[in-house]
């Protein structure tokens, strides 16, 4: 075979293609490594400066709880206030501006009736003070003076806490004594006549200082045997309670409901005339 007729070798072409491919890959690799991606060190640093969401929440909760914990409860004792049945004095615990507890240190306890009223009254007033963060508590029916004295003692404690003790009480003031209890002057007043279906009920009351010393029944139904029997039993019971407890808040005698209520109304109207 003639030497000129040989087919040219393909090896140089393949080598050229392989070389070109290698160079292209190197160029791409270098281009990739020189791109805009941040170095690993920068990524770590950025992560350190930006904590995870859970960590942020936990940090906020810690700060909030720390602020709350900084409010230390304070307990202040109010001034004692005198009523005709005994002194009233309370102690209040505050957390910031919130009333968290009110404790009655002294409540009237001069007799069984007064103790029963105090035991009923105290938790109602304490609950109102705590719920509404105020000394502006209700005046409980049948315990007006004790309610007002409770509020006054509580307000005096709040005034101390707010460092405004020299200012007048914002809500309630010390109960004013209408009757001079040290006086020995005897006074008498006649109550209004209160009509019920069986007739009128009317009483007159005599007081000395702050004490009821006599209640006289001027009118009470006695028109029939039944009324006479009922009211003959009820009248001395009502009179005894009024004198014993110095109040018109007498019991409702069983079987003589209307008479009992009319008796109390007439007696209260007489006491009102005396400013009692």
Q: Where are the domains of the chain?
A: 74-161, 186-273
Q: Which residues pair with 211 in a beta bridge?
A: 208
Can 74-161 and 186-273 be said to share one CATH topology?
A: yes
For the record, the structure tokens of 264 come out as: 């109390």
The pLDDT value recorded for residue 164 is 42
The pLDDT value recorded for residue 46 is 44
The pLDDT value recorded for residue 172 is 54
Q: Please list the pLDDT of the chain residue by residue as tens digits (276 residues).
A: 444 444 444 445 445 444 555 555 444 444 444 444 444 444 334 444 544 455 544 455 555 454 444 568 889 999 999 998 899 999 999 998 899 999 999 999 988 888 999 999 999 999 999 999 999 998 888 888 999 999 999 999 999 987 643 444 455 555 554 445 445 689 999 999 999 988 999 999 999 888 999 999 999 999 888 888 989 999 999 999 999 999 999 988 888 899 999 999 999 999 999 887
Measured distance CA(126)–CA(275) in Å, rounded: 29
Answer yes or no: CATH 3.30.300.30 is held by domain 186-273.
Answer: no
Q: Which residues pair with 206 in a beta bridge?
A: 188, 214
110-146 core/surface letters (b: 16 or more CB in 10 A; e: else) = eeebbeebbeebbeebbebbbeeebbebeebeebebb
pTM of the model: 0.39
> If you classify domain 74-161 with CATH, what class do you get?
alpha beta
Measured distance CA(202)–CA(196) in Å, rounded: 11
């Amino acid at each position: 075979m003639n030497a000129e007729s040989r087919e040219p070798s393909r090896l140089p072409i393949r080598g050229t293609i392989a070389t070109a491919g290698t160079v292209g890959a190197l160029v791409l690799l270098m281009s990739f490594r020189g791109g805009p991606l941040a170095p690993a060190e920068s990524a770590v640093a950025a992560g350190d400066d930006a904590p995870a969401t859970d960590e942020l929440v936990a940090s906020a909760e810690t700060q909030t709880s720390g602020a709350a914990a900084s409010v230390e409860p304070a307990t202040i004792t109010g001034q004692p206030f005198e009523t005709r049945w005994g002194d009233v004095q309370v102690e209040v615990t505050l957390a910031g501006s919130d009333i968290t507890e009110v404790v009655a240190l002294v409540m009237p306890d001069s007799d069984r009736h007064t103790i029963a009223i105090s035991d009923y009254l105290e938790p109602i007033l304490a609950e109102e003070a705590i719920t509404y963060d105020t000394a502006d508590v209700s005046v409980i029916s049948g315990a007006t003076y004790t309610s007002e004295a409770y509020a006054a003692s509580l307000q005096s404690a709040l005034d101390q806490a707010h460092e405004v003790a020299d200012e007048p009480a914002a809500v309630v003031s010390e109960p004013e004594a209408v009757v001079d209890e040290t006086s020995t002057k005897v006074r008498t007043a006649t109550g209004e006549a209160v009509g019920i279906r069986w007739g009128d009920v009317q009483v007159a009351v005599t007081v000395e200082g702050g004490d009821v010393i006599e209640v006289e029944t001027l009118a009470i139904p006695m028109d029939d045997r039944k009324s006479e029997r009922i009211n003959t039993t009820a009248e001395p019971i009502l009179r005894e309670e009024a004198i014993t407890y110095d109040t018109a808040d007498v019991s409702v005698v069983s079987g003589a409901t209307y008479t009992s209520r009319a008796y109390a109304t007439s007696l209260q109207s007489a006491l009102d005339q005396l400013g009692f």
